[in-house]
Homo-oligomer: A and B are copies of this chain.
């Protein structure tokens, strides 16, 4: 049996530093174990007590009558490591460390935490600074969370892993209050040993868990996370994650622009997208989306019927769904006709959506009839029912009627509780109709359900490694960067290096057509900002312009440039950019529209590089179309259609180059990349490469 499994379901538990006062943190674990009917053996350890609530208490770890499978250590940080050492020596499988005062407090704490890990030896650790775990499937509570004071914890099929102990309590109590059933909850907190992905892995194999909800502060082991998340996806267990820390991080000090455009929070987006994780945009969505997915009903399209007996709330739902891209079409003729036949009275308007059955709030039969018709209608993929104020005084009335209709359809049914009527919501949720108090949460949940049906794992392709001799380290200049690109098959502007005016004139004459003159330097990062770029030159003008440029640049940088580039002036193309962003989560490829306006408006998108190979062309095309400025490539307002095929191919090639160069590459960016009219390809106008 794995240590994680033992941790969640131990046959015996030692509680080190247990108190006999259940109001104290150190008194809670035993009180909660007992309250929830733990069937295994409990061994309290406390030299000052002989028994706790009838359970024999031991003076020390060495006095224990047997080796417990798991220990909860309730001692402070100054003594916890001593107990951990003893427990490890005894052969205990895993220990939960509640004490705070470790890495979360600064350097001293970090030292303590290392000491703790060392003391543990082969014994696995949960924590420190954790509130423990709760196994609702088997009623095993190894936690001190005050949320466990609640009655009627509801077992269900949602597993929770939280990097915060307080949040675990918050989720547990909120779920309980809303009739949402959970399977296991684990607070990993400081993650000195066992961490997020260990528990995801376990829950993927746990037959009681169908959905996994994650509260994330930082993913510490991205590769493990990636593997665990992809495994969850492969067995059809959705992962829903809320990640804190969305405020824009300080701009990275970097040579390319990609750093500022990407940012660490967007890397989480890219990682989640890559691994099929549904990102909850608000903390409350985390439970709401998980709850909706736990029913395992399938949302096969975006057409939603809204059934209401109160106009205003129906509008709220339809508004929120519209903003999120759902459709709320009116009923088809047959359905509308059948709805009318259900009802007497002229007031109800049944040929539009929301479908307003004015009296149904008090007439369960009418409600049942309308629900059945809408679920059978070929016009809808899901049904949202608005529960009105009758539910305050009579929560069972509508809830019961809705419940009766569920077995008749595989389509998702969700409820919006318009007044404050928690009982009605709890009832419905426990019947399998996820219930919500906010319209936005319904939209978020339906988006989550739709994601589960439509997300596909990235195609893993054999790594197409191009062997290239990379010489040198540090910043390559523009010329060197482009030659490197060319070795991978990316086309770049034709260009020549010159060092004086006469060479420039000579080269320009050979090149035919207007040329661009640039300084060539691996030090100057933004050439145009120092006056180091001139466009539209010919053999006559390029020489004098070079002399002028020498002076201009010297004025800004303090020394005259020694080399220049004379290159073809690209015309008629659409400017874009490609870049790479690396952080502990992985390596991502960024695509964006070029030009300063697009840069300010941050029209970019990102994809995580798979573990081997580059992006697929399907992914690359998806990226191109994700840009808001995509119409610029596609004939917008009389512009020529651009060579999107070549752009896609270049993006794939760029990603393969990044994969091939791997850790040799610190930064890489092509900016601008000119996308020429259809059939004419793409060409890199400038590039940055920083090698390690």
Name the distance in Å between A541's Cβ and chain B's nearest Cβ. Answer: 16
A111 within 8 A of B: no
Instruction: Give the distance in Å from the alpha carbon of A528 to the alpha carbon of B640 in the complex.
Output: 12
Binds B, one of A173-181, A232-240, A370-378, A462-470: A173-181
Residues of chain B lying within 8 A (CB to CB) of residue A246 = 319, 322-323
Q: A173-B421, A246-B323, A438-B283 are in contact. Are A166 and B347 (CB under 8 A)?
A: no
Closest B residue to A315 by CB, please name it: B244
In the complex, A170→B437 CA distance in Å? 10
What residue of chain B has the Cβ atom nearest to residue A574's Cβ? B597
The answer to whether A420 and B176 touch across the interface, beta carbons within 8 angstroms, is: yes
State A637–B598 Cα separation when bound (angstroms): 13
- Complex interface residues of chain A between 423 and 445 (CB less than 8 A to chain B): 437-440
Q: Which residues of B contact A166 (CB under 8 A)?
A: 310-313, 388-389, 418
Q: A419-B169, A601-B603 are in contact. Are A149 and B282 (CB under 8 A)?
A: no
Q: For the complex, what is the distance from the CA of A355 to the CA of B313, rounded to whole Å?
A: 40
The answer to whether A312 and B603 touch (CB under 8 A), given A419-B146, A637-B528, is: no
| Cβ-based interface call for A408 (8 A) | no
A595 CA to B282 CA, complexed, in Å: 35
A638 touches B (CB below 8 Å): yes
CB <8 Å contact, B600 and A169: no
Min Cβ gap A291→B in Å is 14
Q: Considering residues A145, A526, A638, which has the most beta carbons from chain B within 10 angstroms of its beta carbon?
A: A638
Cα-based distance from A251 to B283 in the complex (angstroms)? 35
Q: Residue-by-residue, is A626-670 near B (CB-CB < 8 Å gives 1, otherwise 0)?
A: 001101100011110000000000000000000000000000000
A393–B215 CA distance with the chains assembled, in angstroms: 24
Q: Does A474 contact B (CB under 8 A)?
A: no
Contacting pair B637 A529 (CB below 8 A): yes
Q: Does A67 contact B (CB under 8 A)?
A: no
Within 8 A of B (CB), among A557-595: 593, 595
> Is A613's CB within 8 Å of the partner chain B?
no
A598 and B636 alpha carbons, distance in the complex (Å) = 13
Contact of A174 among B322, B323, B419 (CB under 8 A): B419
The stretch of A98-106, A113-121, A192-200, A677-685 that contacts the partner chain: A98-106
Q: Which residues of B contact A176 (CB under 8 A)?
A: 420
A228 to B388, CA, bound (A): 31
A596 part of interface (Cβ distance < 8 Å): yes
Contact flags A173-217 to B (C-beta < 8 A → 1, else 0)? 110111000000000000000000000000000000000000101
Report the bound CA distance from A85 to B76 in whole Å. 80
Report chain B residues within 8 Å CB of A10. none
The interface centre, meaning the residue of A100, A104, A322 with most chain B CB atoms within 10 A of its CB, is A100
- Chain B: minimal CB distance from A180 (Å): 11
Residues of chain B within 8 A of A598, CB atoms compared = 597, 601
**A527 CB to nearest B CB, Å:** 10
* CB proximity to B under 8 Å, residues A395-430: 418-422
- Whether a CB of chain B sits under 8 angstroms from the CB of A390 is yes
Q: Is A247 an interface residue (CB 8 A)?
A: yes
Chain B residue at minimum C-beta to C-beta distance from A391: B146
Report how many residues on chain A are interfacial, defined by Cβ distance under 8 Å: 86
How far does the Cβ of A344 sit from chain B's closest Cβ, in whole Å? 12
Expressed in whole angstroms, the Cα–Cα distance for A596 and B162 within the complex equals 45
- Within 8 Å of chain B (Cβ to Cβ): is A346? yes
Contact across chains for B358 and A173 when beta carbons are under 8 A apart: no
The answer, among B105, B247, B593, for a CB contact under 8 Å with A346, is B105
A108 to B346, CA, bound (A): 10
Give Cα A679–Cα B411 distance, bound, in whole angstroms. 65
- Residues of chain B within 8 A (CB-CB) of A155 are none
A227 within 8 A of B: no
**Complex formed: what's the CA distance from A164 to B388 in Å?**
13
Contact A146 B313, beta carbon cutoff 8 Å? no
A516 within 8 A of B: no
**Distance between A74 CB and nearest chain B CB, rounded to angstroms:** 14
- Collect the chain B residues with CB atoms within 8 Å of residue A517's CB: none
Asked if residues A629 and B597 are in contact (CB atoms below 8 Å), the reply is yes
CA distance A218 to B313 in the complex (A): 15
Across-interface contacts of A437 in B (CB, < 8 A): 284
Q: Are the C-beta atoms of A389 and B146 separated by less than 8 Å?
A: yes
Q: A146-B389, A319-B247, A637-B528 are in contact. Are A595 and B597 (CB under 8 A)?
A: yes
Query: In the complex, A104→B597 CA distance in Å?
Result: 45
Partner of A347, one of B77, B163, B316, B421: B77
Q: A40 at the A/B interface (Cβ < 8 Å)?
A: no
* Contact between A100 and B358, CB atoms less than 8 A apart: yes
A165 touches B (CB below 8 Å): yes
Give complex CA distance A600, B361 in Å.
45
* Known pairs A420-B177, A438-B283; A600 contacts B632 (CB<8 A): yes
Contacts of A636 in B (CB 8 A): 596, 600
Apart from A162-B312, A247-B322: 15 A-B pairs, beta carbons within 8 A: A104-B311, A105-B346, A106-B349, A147-B419, A166-B418, A170-B418, A174-B419, A174-B420, A178-B420, A246-B322, A282-B439, A529-B637, A596-B639, A597-B629, A597-B632
- Cβ contacts A to B, 26 pairs, < 8 Å: A77-B346, A99-B347, A100-B358, A106-B349, A146-B392, A162-B312, A166-B312, A169-B310, A169-B388, A169-B418, A170-B313, A170-B419, A172-B419, A173-B419, A174-B419, A244-B316, A246-B319, A247-B319, A282-B439, A596-B639, A597-B597, A597-B603, A598-B601, A600-B636, A601-B603, A601-B629
Q: Which 3 A-B pairs have the closest CB atoms?
A: A164-B312, A166-B310, A146-B389
